[in-house]
Structures are given as structure tokens and as C-alpha cells.
Amino acid sequence: MLAMKILGIESSCDETAAAVVEDGYRLLSNVVHSQIDIHSQYGGVVPEVAARSHIEMINPVIAKALEDAACGWDDIDAIAVTYAPGLVGSLLVGTLAARTLAVAKQIPLVAVHHVEGHVYANFITEVGDSPTLEALRSQLPSTTPRFPILALIVSGGHTQLVLFKNHGDYELLGQTQDDAVGEAYDKVAKIIGLPYPGGPAIDQISVSGDSMAYDLPKAKLQGQFDFSFSGLKTAVLRTAQKIVDKDYTFPSHHLPELLNDKQRADIAASFQRVAIESLIDKTLVAYDEYFPSSVVIAGGVAANQELRRQLRVRLPIAIEYAPMKLCTDNATMIAALGFYMFKAGKIANPYNLEVVPSLSMTKTTWALTDQV
Ligand code: KG4
Ligand code: ZN
């Protein structure tokens, strides 16, 4: 059978991305235009600015993805686009581009849930000939994950444990009751004066910090697989205020100028120790309960070095990781999941596909996109 090529398009937050993936596992191109430089001056993503940048970048990014993959429109079997969840203005740019192209080029459209997509970064095991992909080749997992798959999804907007019994057949085991873990990384980074996005900055600075320097609380929750990070974030704020001899009324934006480098690194390392312990504790409980054949980590925080190191030590089975570049937002994961949805006949209507900014990842996601 001829290989099937899916063009993925992703614009749900602050990355404009397009990619071509063959048969759900062979990556032919991966183009990501990050807006980090634009948003870092504001300390976080500004939705209107993000949407405007997507409008400027979407066409060139798609053109480059086709060019890198050495594809014409005739080679593309389906267009997979992120339609939920995310920032409404950002989502609209990608979906409108995908809908227009699907109609103009007469190519089937597939509507993909962004968070579910993150899991499929782990399904990429080969790259094509494009020189732009060469660096990824040695970082790819050797095999695709096997069902049942336990997925720990950790991003800027989500923290959840999901059990995949098959493609499109999954169960949400637990999730954060307040902040996502990536959000906590970003907020803690802001408190101690590190740049946006905070995750990579904390990851880096923690290496030189003492992770036992400060005693921070681990949340205790009712739900066996649920998470909570807002108490930890507040504890970091109070700790930082105490270190510089101020009370709880002291404004957080003045803290960075009073903390020295050692204090900053110690706070980062202590926060990271507790955050990662909470993630792994729950993952281990889920592992013992369900005995999955594979465990995968997905989302931006999956790029974290210490999380990977700790999982290697504590989890009874070996985990293969997606390259860091495919952990943060990209369209490769959207195209990979799009392949399985397309094969299952989950085709969206290009004339009326709507974005859904706050759709949670539930069993009904595939049903929702079955629109024609
Ligand atoms: O998945 P993602 O790219 O976007 C969302 O869908 O949210 O995740 C972004 C999040 C940000 O909160 C960022 O700080 C975090 O992932 N992140 C990290 C690392 N790299 C990115 N967190 C911890 N360690 C990292 N190395
Ligand atoms: Zn994401």
C-alpha cells in the first residue's frame, strides 16, 4: 500500500507550526515558528499579539513544511489541524487556514485535540531525508509505544494521567485540580526573576541549586491520580519573601532584585524536586494499578531533564522519550495523531469546523470531530 502523508497544522498558543508525517511514524518535515521572543518582554503570552503573529506566519510556515518534505499538494492525503483547546484567536488562524486549504485543494480535513496530540509525539520513530531533521534522527525512540499506554501529560495548560487502551479509546485517570505543572514552573520562574518560559530556565538553574534547601509542601489530594500545584507555588512565594526578610504583603515583582543567585538556584531546585516528586508518585500508583505495556510522557514539561532522570530511576519499566523538540508545541504530533483519525474515518467538515478553546480531553473527542 502507498504511504499516506498527513500535513499537520498547529497554532493553538504561541507557536505557528506545520509538519508532514508519513503513516503516523515517519517525519518528513517539522517547521516551528516560536513567538517566545515576542512574548518574553511581557512575561507571558499576550493573546492578541499571538493571533497577529500567527496570521503573518501561517502561510510561510506551511509552504516551508511542504518544501522541506519535498511534497506538492497532490502528495498530501489529509490535513490535520488543532481545533481545541487553546487561545481562541490563535486556534482560529490555524483552523481557517486548514479549512480553506482543504476546500481549495480538495483534501480531507481532520480535527485534532491538541493535548491528545502531544501523546503522539512519542509515535515518531523515523525521519526522512530532509537535512533539517538530521539532528532528530539519533534522538528518536526505537519503537512505537504499545497499548495499553499510560500517558503523563504535562504542559503549560494541562497536567493529567490518561490510560490509552487504543487509538481514540482512552480514560482520564486524574488531572490537576488547579494550576498545570508548566504554569507553576512559569509562575515560580517569575517570582525568582527568571525569563519566560520558566520551565527551561528552572530546569537549567536547578542543576546548580540545593534541592533540599527549602522545605516545600507536597499536595495531599482526595483523587488517587489527581494533582495540585497552586499551594506549592504559593509556598515558593512565601519562602522567597521570608528569605529576604519581608512579610506576605511584600509585592512579588520586587523579590527578584533582593534574591541572590544562590538563593534563586536553591528555590528553583527545591520547587522542582517537589513538583517532580508529585508527578512521579501518581504515575507510579497508576502504573501499579493498570500495568501498562508502555509509559509515555507528553507536553512541554516532558522536556525536563530532572523529570526524565527521576523517572528512569523510579519507574519499573524503561521509558523512551520523544526528542525535546517534539515535546513542546509542534505540528508533527498533530499530523501523527491525524493519521490514525483519518484511517478511522474521522473526517471533519471544512465548511463548518468550529474551534473549541476549552475542550477537555475526554472519550468524546473523536466523536466530536466525526462531522460529515
Ligand atoms: O506543551 P507546551 O509547549 O505548550 C502547552 O500546550 O502548554 O508546554 C509549555 C510549557 C511551559 O509552561 C514551559 O515552561 C514548559 O512547558 N517547559 C518546561 C521545559 N520546557 C518547557 N518545563 C520544565 N522543564 C523544561 N525543560
Ligand atoms: Zn502544548
- Dump pLDDT digits (tens) for 322-367: 999 999 999 999 999 999 999 999 999 999 999 999 988 865 567 6
Q: Mean pLDDT, to the nearest integer, of 147-175?
A: 95
Round the average pLDDT of the chain to a whole number and report it. Answer: 94
Q: What is the per-residue pLDDT for 372? A: 44
Q: Is the pLDDT of residue 109 over 70?
A: yes
Cβ–ligand 1 distance for 116 under 6 Å, the answer: no
Q: What is the per-residue pLDDT for 363? A: 55
Ligand 2 center–CA 117 separation, angstroms: 8
Cβ–ligand 1 distance for 197 under 6 Å, the answer: yes
- In the chain, what percentage of residues exceed pLDDT 90? 88
Which atom of ligand 1 is closest in space to residue 303's alpha carbon? 26
Q: Is the pLDDT of residue 369 over 80?
A: no
Q: Is the pLDDT of residue 28 over 80?
A: yes
Q: Mean pLDDT, to the nearest integer, of 39-62?
A: 88
Site of grid cell 527549602:
214
Q: Mean pLDDT, to the nearest integer, of 283-306?
A: 96
Burial of 152 (C-beta count, 10 Å sphere; 0-12/13-18/19+)? buried
Ligand 2 center–CA 19 separation, angstroms: 15
Q: Is the pLDDT of residue 38 over 90?
A: no
Cβ–ligand 1 distance for 182 under 6 Å, the answer: yes
Pocket residue to mutate for ligand 1, from 119, 190, 328, 330, most atoms within 8 A of Cβ: 328
Q: Is the pLDDT of residue 49 over 90?
A: no
Cβ–ligand 1 distance for 86 under 6 Å, the answer: no
Separation between Cα atoms, residue 227 and residue 354, nearest integer Å: 31
Cβ–ligand 1 distance for 199 under 6 Å, the answer: yes
Residue 49 or 309, more confident: 309
Q: How many CB atoms lie within 10 A of CB 101?
A: 21
Q: What is the per-residue pLDDT for 41? A: 78
CB 65 within 8 A of CB 31: yes
Ligand 1 center–CA 23 separation, angstroms: 27
Cβ–ligand 1 distance for 85 under 6 Å, the answer: no
Which atom of ligand 1 is closest in space to residue 180's alpha carbon? 12
Residues with Cβ within 8 Å of 235's Cβ and at least 6 positions away in sequence, in order, are 216, 217
Residues with Cβ within 8 Å of 124's Cβ and at least 6 positions away in sequence, in order, are 21, 25, 26, 27, 140, 141, 322, 326, 332, 336
Q: What is the per-residue pLDDT for 278? A: 96
Q: Is the pLDDT of residue 183 over 90?
A: yes
Pairing between strand 149-154 and 159-166? antiparallel
Output the residue whose Cα is nearest ligand 1's atom 10.
156
Q: Is the pLDDT of residue 250 over 50?
A: yes
Ligand 2 center–CA 360 separation, angstroms: 13
Q: Sorting pLDDT into bands at 50, 70 and 90, what band is 249?
A: very high
Q: What is the per-residue pLDDT for 367? A: 64
Q: Sorting pLDDT into bands at 50, 70 and 90, what band is 70?
A: very high
Q: pLDDT tens digits, residue range 201-230?
A: 999 999 999 999 999 999 988 889 999 999
Residue of 219, 222, 229, 221 lying closest to 178 (CA atoms): 229
Ligand 2 center–CA 244 separation, angstroms: 35
CB 187 within 8 A of CB 238: no
Q: Mean pLDDT, to the nearest integer, of 127-151?
A: 96
Q: What is the per-residue pLDDT for 355? A: 95
Q: What is the per-residue pLDDT for 119? A: 97
Q: Sorting pLDDT into bands at 50, 70 and 90, what band is 146?
A: very high
Q: Sorting pLDDT into bands at 50, 70 and 90, what band is 368?
A: low
Q: What is the per-residue pLDDT for 365? A: 65
DSSP E strands: which ranges in 167-298? Answer: 169-175, 294-298
- Ion ligand 2: residues, CB < 5 A: 155, 329
Q: Mean pLDDT, to the nearest integer, of 101-111?
A: 98
Q: Sorting pLDDT into bands at 50, 70 and 90, what band is 64?
A: very high
